[in-house]
């Protein structure tokens, strides 16, 4: 597979992940579309893919590939924006990845590789607050119901990486 094919495959996986997360928020958590900060869904989708790709993929230049993937993703979600907005978004994403998601993603699965539903609920609460700008407290039942889907989302990405980059 060429470098360009790898990049496009990862971009498409991230965009598909963002779409799936959007469906969870609109259909299960019943968040109105206009209250969803799609950029935050993109941060999480890109974080999951990046974390797993860096640790599982048997691929050269993983960091460089992910830098290109991130740039393409942001160009697609931030059309017609100036360089300053682009750089702010990139910095915000790096903060989310380094200070939050990189620490949390490995905890989604327990030591036996089983989805930790309690931790998925905690993580989805955090994502909910970033995405909606509101407290997750009033939606705990819905978040608890939707949280296994977050775990499955990570497992699906693990399978994707293992299948495409063995």
CB of 155 closer than 8 Å to CB of 52: no
pLDDT in tens, 85-124: 777 888 889 998 998 898 888 888 877 778 888 899 999 9
Is 80 exceeded by the pLDDT of residue 81?
Answer: no
Q: What backbone phi and psi angles, to 5 degrees, belong to 133?
A: 75, 15
Q: What confidence score (pLDDT) does residue 13 get?
A: 96
Q: What confidence score (pLDDT) does residue 113 get?
A: 76
What is the total count of domains within the chain?
1
Q: What confidence score (pLDDT) does residue 82 get?
A: 62
Residue range(s) defining the domain that contains residue 87: 3-164
Q: Which residues contact 134 (CB under 8 A, 6 or more apart)?
A: 35, 128
- In three-state form (DSSP H/G/I as H, E/B as E, the rest C), the secondary structure along 50-92 is HHHHHHHCCCCCHHHHHHHHHHHHHHHHCCCCCHHHHHHHHHH
pLDDT in tens, 127-160: 999 999 999 999 999 999 999 999 999 999 999 9
């Amino acid at each position: 597979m060429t470098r360009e094919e790898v990049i496009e495959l990862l971009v498409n996986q991230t965009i598909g992940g963002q779409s799936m997360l959007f469906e969870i928020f609109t259909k299960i958590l019943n968040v109105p579309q206009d209250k969803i900060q799609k950029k935050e869904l993109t941060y999480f989708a890109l974080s999951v893919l990046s974390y797993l790709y860096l640790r599982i993929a048997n691929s050269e230049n993983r960091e460089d590939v992910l830098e290109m993937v991130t740039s393409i993703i942001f160009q697609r979600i931030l059309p017609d924006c100036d360089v300053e907005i682009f750089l702010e978004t990139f910095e915000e994403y790096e903060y989310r990845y380094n200070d939050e998601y990189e620490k949390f993603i490995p905890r989604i699965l327990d030591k036996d590789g089983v989805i930790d539903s309690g931790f998925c609920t905690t993580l989805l609460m955090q994502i909910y607050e970033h995405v909606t700008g509101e407290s997750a407290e009033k939606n705990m039942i819905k978040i608890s119901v939707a949280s296994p889907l977050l775990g499955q989302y990570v497992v699906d990405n693990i399978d994707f990486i293992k299948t495409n980059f063995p």
